[in-house]
Amino acid sequence: MKRALITGINGFTGRYVAHELELAGWEVWGIGSQETSDITPNYRQVDILDREALVEVVSEVSAQSIVHLAAMAFVAHNDADAFYRVNIVGTRNLLSALAANSQTPDGVLLASSANVYGNSTEGVLSETAMPNPANDYAVSKLAMEYMAKLWMDRLPIVIVRPFNYTGVGQSESFLLPKIVSHFRRKAEVIKLGNLDVSRDFSDVRSVAYAYRRLLETKPIGQTVNVCSGKTTSLREVLQLAQQINGHSIEVQVNPAFVRATDVKELRGDPSKLTSFIGERNMPSLADTLRWMFNPSP
């Protein structure tokens, strides 16, 4: 049985990746900052900034594949220092622990972010687009990528740049869950930021599938977009939510939510991903929103 170690397993993405791997017959282990986990009994509480603790867990588990999801992932988070500590130093601690272990893993998948592209003028973004990070989160993720390249002669690393994705269980601090929550409870008003931004949205389940397939196909040394190749504006998301839920809501633009560093449009080119894992079944954004409005048991 193949064994995988997922960092940040208790997080939104970690839960779906763990489920995807288990369905495919993997033995899943996880680490996180919480004391316990309801996802797998093979869980260890570890602070990713504690290198010695990481060394112990990596040695204990000796997993064939690593999925590194532990990160500060909310762009609007006010503690810029935390982005750099967790996303760069934490990742370096993990790579150092993996390189020091007697058993080298077959694959190490590192989750970066499409935010590294920033306000690019290149239209549909392939992996060759010039990075242009526009906030501390994106800078920390790009720096993490460069740091990880220092380990590629010792570890079989694949870097993924996921574009926006969502699904049941994502925090309401993120945009689409916030919108769904307001419509579900029939709120009269929702306060948002810039309504004219467009994003390439995916379903978290298709992202988890892509991660598993990349672990299996092992395009070592590659950086890969994980995206749908389609964009939807915030105004269109609101229209979809109203059509699905039947509720009308007043939208107010709160200047406090409008950030000068907001990326206007992010649309990815999934060609490289498809070349590695083949075609995949991707729910439409409307289908994902229907699932979020009516979660399956």
By annotation, the residues acting in catalysis are: 137
Q: Which residues of 252-267 are buried (b: 16+ CB within 10 A; e: fewer)?
A: eeeeeeeeeeebeebb
Query: 68 — phi, psi (to 5°)?
Result: -100, 100
Q: What angle do CA 222, 227, 173 make, to 5 degrees?
A: 115
C-beta neighbour count of 133 within 10 angstroms: 20
Strands 232-233, 198-199: pairing kind: antiparallel
- Both tokens of 281, joined, read 């079944």
Distance CA 287, CA 292 (A): 9
By the 8 A CB rule, do 253 and 168 touch?
no
Q: What angle do CA 29, 32, 37 make, to 5 degrees?
A: 65
